């Protein structure tokens, strides 16, 4: 009897074999490539170059090589890229688990290394498996519990992604040719025996195709209970996705709320007409504006969504307020040469305090310091007295309960 997992006959499932592993591998090859790309895109969308405000990752060095100023068009850009990132990541979980299950005997194989190349390959597999588990676990925790690791999710998920993807590329280069050959041969001609095939298989309880259908069914179920987070009409189906926390209720403010005013420790006394002032600083000094002062400036409307890094997004809401560009002019800049801006919130509780926007985001005529949403003054939970809203920007840059804006190149 083989009692030790290092013995091939310990592993009895007749499902294991190169065909099963290759099918799952090819699905992951496509899926993980898309996850990596949309992940990099999300990182660029934070404008981490506006360091250290938006991003506290120390020394990105050459890993920041691809960063570019995030555009404001199309306005649904981040809704799309981050919706795909989170929904696809969750959908791939059953495929990933099945893939890891299909190769688990190799984890125990002895001797640990037959040659130098074999040793290097096994080390790269540790980085691969460790990396993929790390990325999926930190990703899911961030979406479900948001910021269990305060402030450190971005550097963890970011560096983890590079370590994992490097190991992934090595793995694909080493394994893809054999996987493609296996799939070309197909199931009909029988599985070529390999180190994955059990030498003493139990009788099958499900065919290999049946097992794939099970995995696919699991993925479909996760997809069906997640994808609705990006569509207002389907939101009730998104059982697995946090809908942005609190029940937003109905009416003009009846769309997703991430952090409520109560959570953020915002008191009605500090947002009242008498108490609240917006401090705007720039080349020409500092001005302090009440909400009534802001309402006397030219007001403009834009229809823009909120799209959170957690994957959920709203359809367009009608925002009305003062153009960021006009506030830059008030602070002493030319309308066609506005600078970056640092936006600070009244908020003192929780992780969030400030966010920086780049000049191209300030310049866009649709970018507002919003005072109204859907025809009514902002609700406290959506950022009353004033909040930022910028086309295509990640939700986290749309600061609520704004108290101070400092214009100037960051
Ligand atoms: N002051 C402050 N602004 C904030 C946040 C916050 O926690 N505090 N959350 C941000 C995040 S992560 C998102 S997704 C949006 C959500 O806006 P909403 O709650 O109006 O939907 O607000 C952003 N602005
Ligand atoms: Mo967010």
d(Cα 406, Cα 338) in Å, to the nearest integer?
A: 12
Q: If you take atom 15 of ligand 1, which residue's CA is the nearest one?
A: 395
CATH number at residue 323: 3.90.420.10
Q: Is 399 in the pocket of ligand 1 (CB under 6 A)?
A: yes
Contact 131, 162 (CB under 8 A): no
279 & 158 share domain:
no
Model pLDDT, residue 234: 86
Pocket test for ligand 1, best of 352, 353, 401 (most atoms within 8 A of CB): 352
Chain-centroid distance, C-alpha 310? 5
Per-residue pLDDT in tens (0 to 9) along the chain, 410 residues: 567 999 888 999 999 999 999 999 999 999 999 999 999 999 999 888 886 667 766 667 788 888 889 999 999 999 999 999 999 999 999 999 999 999 999 888 888 888 998 888 888 899 999 999 999 999 998 888 765 444 578 888 999 999 999 999 999 998 899 999 999 887 666 666 788 899 999 999 999 999 999 999 999 999 999 999 998 888 888 887 766 555 677 888 889 998 899 999 999 999 999 999 999 999 999 999 999 999 999 999 999 999 999 999 999 999 999 999 999 999 999 999 999 999 999 998 776 778 999 999 999 999 999 999 999 999 999 999 999 999 999 999 999 999 999 999 88
* 3-class secondary-structure state, position 363: helix
197 & 292 share domain:
no
Taking the CA of residue 260 as reference, the ligand 1 atom at the shortest distance is 19
Model pLDDT, residue 350: 74
Q: What separation in Å is there between the alpha carbon of 400 and the centre of ligand 1?
A: 6
Q: Is 258 in the pocket of ligand 1 (CB under 6 A)?
A: yes
Beta strands 402-407 and 278-282: pairing type? parallel
Q: What separation in Å is there between the alpha carbon of 282 and the centre of ligand 2?
A: 28
Last residue of a domain, one of 224, 254, 278: 224
From the list 377, 10, 51, the residue with the least C-alpha distance to 199 is 10
Tokens representing 183 are 């799939």
Domain of 153 in residue numbering reads as: 8-224
Helices 18-45/153-185 angle, 10° precision = 150
Q: What separation in Å is there between the alpha carbon of 42 and the centre of ligand 1?
A: 17
Contact 311, 381 (CB under 8 A): no
Q: What separation in Å is there between the alpha carbon of 397 and the centre of ligand 1?
A: 8
Max CA separation in the chain (angstroms): 85
How many domains does the chain divide into? 2
50 & 161 share domain:
yes
Q: Where are the alpha helices (DSSP H) in 228-371?
A: 261-264, 268-271, 291-295, 324-330, 359-363
187 & 310 share domain:
no
Q: Is 87 in the pocket of ligand 1 (CB under 6 A)?
A: no
CB atoms within 10 A of CB 216: 14
Q: Is 308 in the pocket of ligand 1 (CB under 6 A)?
A: yes
Q: Is 400 in the pocket of ligand 1 (CB under 6 A)?
A: yes
Sheet containing 402-407: give its strands across: 285-289, 278-282, 402-407, 341-345, 354-357
> What backbone torsions phi and psi does residue 29 show, to the nearest 5 degrees?
-55, -50
205 & 140 share domain:
yes
Q: What pTM value is reported for the model?
A: 0.94
Q: Is 396 in the pocket of ligand 1 (CB under 6 A)?
A: yes
Q: What separation in Å is there between the alpha carbon of 279 and the centre of ligand 1?
A: 20
Q: Is 382 contained in some domain?
A: yes
Q: Is 186 contained in some domain?
A: yes
Q: What separation in Å is there between the alpha carbon of 355 and the centre of ligand 1?
A: 11
């Amino acid at each position: 009897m083989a009692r030790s997992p290092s013995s091939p006959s310990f592993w009895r499932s007749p499902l294991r074999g190169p065909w099963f592993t290759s099918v799952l591998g090819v699905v992951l090859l496509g899926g993980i490539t898309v996850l990596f790309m949309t992940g990099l895109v999300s990182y660029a969308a934070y404008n981490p170059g506006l360091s250290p405000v938006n991003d506290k990752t120390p020394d990105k060095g050459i890993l920041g090589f691809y960063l570019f100023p995030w555009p404001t068009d199309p306005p649904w850009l981040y809704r799309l890229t981050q919706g795909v990132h989170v929904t696809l990541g969750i959908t791939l979980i059953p495929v990933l688990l099945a893939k890891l299950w299909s190769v688990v005997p190799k984890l125990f194989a002895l001797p640990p290394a037959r040659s130098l190349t074999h040793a290097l390959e096994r080390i790269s597999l540790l980085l691969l498996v460790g990396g993929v588990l790390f990325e999926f676990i930190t990703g899911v925790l961030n979406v479900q519990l948001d910021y269990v690791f305060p402030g450190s999710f971005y550097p963890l998920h970011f560096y983890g992604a590079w370590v994992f993807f490097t190991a992934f590329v090595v793995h694909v280069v080493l394994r893809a040719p054999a996987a493609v050959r296996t799939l070309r041969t197909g199931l009909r001609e029988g599985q070529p025996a390999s180190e994955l095939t059990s030498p003493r298989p139990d009788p099958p309880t499900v065919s290999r195709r049946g097992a794939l259908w099970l995995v696919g069914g699991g993925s479909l179920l996760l997809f069906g209970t997640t994808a609705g987070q990006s569509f207002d009409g389907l939101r009730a189906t998104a059982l697995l996705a946090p809908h942005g926390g609190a029940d937003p209720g109905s009416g003009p403010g009846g769309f997703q709320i991430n952090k409520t005013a109560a959570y953020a420790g915002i008191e009605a006394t500090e947002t009242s007409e008498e108490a609240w002032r917006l401090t705007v600083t720039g080349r020409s000094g500092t001005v302090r504006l009440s909400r009534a002062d802001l309402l006397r400036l030219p007001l403009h409307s834009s229809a823009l969504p909120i799209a959170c890094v957690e994957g959920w997004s709203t359809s367009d809401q009608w925002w009305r307020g003062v153009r960021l560009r006009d506030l830059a002019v008030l602070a002493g800049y030319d309308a066609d040469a506005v600078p970056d801006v640092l936006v600070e919130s009244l908020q003192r509780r929780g992780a969030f305090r400030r966010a920086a926007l780049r000049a191209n985001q300030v310049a866009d005529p649709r970018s507002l310091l919003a005072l109204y949403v859907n025809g009514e003054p902002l609700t406290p939970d959506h950022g009353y007295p004033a909040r930022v809203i910028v086309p295509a920007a990640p939700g986290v840059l749309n600061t609520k309960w704004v108290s101070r804006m400092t214009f100037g190149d960051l």
